[in-house]
Amino acid sequence: MTTPAPTLTDAEKRLSIIVHPHPTLRYKSKPILRVDDQLRDYISQMFELMYSSKGVGLAANQVNLPLQLFVVNPSGKQGEGEEMVFINPVLSRPKGTESGEEGCLSLPGVFGEVVRAAEIDVEAFTHLGQRINLRANGYLARILQHEYDHLQGVMFFDRMSEAKRLEINDEIGEFEDDYQVQSSLGNIVSEDHWQAWIQKIESRYCIK
Ligand code: ZN
């Protein structure tokens, strides 16, 4: 016996990118146990949002979905490079370190230097049920680590050195101030509404 998946409203079927300090960006996402047409539609929306925002990767947390899923195209351009979908990714065997500048679609315009593993293994599934097992290096390794962090509720600036982080503190603070303003204007959903949304998505995708 299975329980029917909760129905989603038209508004809930449309995704948009959320910005820091939205609580879903700090939520530890759950593994996906069910893939349906709606999830495949969410994935194509994620690619569209990524391209229109000039990104190279986008994690489900960033579109307010508490799921272990991210999409990547290192070229950042539709029709170029390779589109990759990672479901329930696991990273392992990090080797070496490399410093590089990162930005994030949930903190538009803010950039900072982050030290990452130079090489890393990733295991995951695609939305078509194919197994992914690859060793990544260079830019792809950085993207994978940045997006994987999102699924754990970790932002790139959490990984920066204190000195480097201080340089962008004011810029991050502006996003936090704006969130406060939006909240006081009633433009941000209440804690209860947010909890209900997280539960709705988890009961649809994270329970067999
Ligand atoms: Zn990001």
As beta bridge partners, residue 205 has none
Indicate if the pLDDT at residue 129 is higher than 70: yes
Could you tell me the fold of the domain covering 11-205?
A: Peptide Deformylase (3.90.45)
Tell me the pLDDT tens digit for each residue of 87-107. Answer: 999 999 999 999 999 999 999
At 54, the amino acid letter reads K
Residues 184-195 have a mean pLDDT of 94
Residues 118-137 have a mean pLDDT of 97
Indicate if the pLDDT at residue 2 is higher than 70: no
Edge-to-edge, what's the strand order for the sheet holding 69-72? 57-59, 69-72, 84-103, 111-125, 131-137
Rounded to the nearest angstrom, the distance between the alpha carbon of 106 and the centre of ligand 1 is 6
> So what's the pLDDT on residue 85?
98
> So what's the pLDDT on residue 1?
59
As beta bridge partners, residue 67 has 30
pLDDT band for position 50 (cuts 50, 70, 90): very high
Q: Which of 10, 59, 30, 80 is nearest to 203 (CA)?
A: 30
Rounded to the nearest angstrom, the distance between the alpha carbon of 26 and the centre of ligand 1 is 12
Supply 3's token pair. 């329980």
Number of Cβ atoms within 10 Å of the Cβ of 122:
21
CB 39 within 8 A of CB 12: no
Rounded to the nearest angstrom, the distance between the alpha carbon of 157 and the centre of ligand 1 is 10
How many angstroms from the chain centroid is the CA of residue 61? Answer: 4
Indicate if the pLDDT at residue 174 is higher than 90: yes
As beta bridge partners, residue 11 has none
Residues near 125 by Cβ (< 8 Å), separated by ≥ 6?
86, 87, 88, 131, 132
> So what's the pLDDT on residue 6?
85
Indicate if the pLDDT at residue 63 is higher than 70: yes
> So what's the pLDDT on residue 5?
77
Q: List the catalytic residue out of 147, 171, 176, 191.
A: 147
> So what's the pLDDT on residue 131?
98
Indicate if the pLDDT at residue 60 is higher than 70: yes
> Exposed (0-12), middle (13-18) or buried (19+): which is 106, by Cβ within 10 Å?
buried
Rounded to the nearest angstrom, the distance between the alpha carbon of 93 and the centre of ligand 1 is 22
Residues 70-80 have a mean pLDDT of 97
Q: Per-residue b/e over 73-97, b at no fewer than 16 CB within 10 Å?
A: bbeeeeeeeebbbbbbbebeeeeee
> So what's the pLDDT on residue 4?
73
Counting residues of the chain whose pLDDT is more than 90, the rounded percentage is 96
What is the chain's mean pLDDT, rounded?
96
Domain ranges of the chain: 11-205
DSSP E strands: which ranges in 126-195? Answer: 131-137
Rounded to the nearest angstrom, the distance between the alpha carbon of 20 and the centre of ligand 1 is 10
147 is catalytic: yes
Residues 122-151 have a mean pLDDT of 98
Residues 130-144 have a mean pLDDT of 98
Q: How far apart are the first and last CA of the chain?
A: 10
Indicate if the pLDDT at residue 76 is higher than 70: yes
Rounded to the nearest angstrom, the distance between the alpha carbon of 79 and the centre of ligand 1 is 22
Rounded to the nearest angstrom, the distance between the alpha carbon of 193 and the centre of ligand 1 is 24
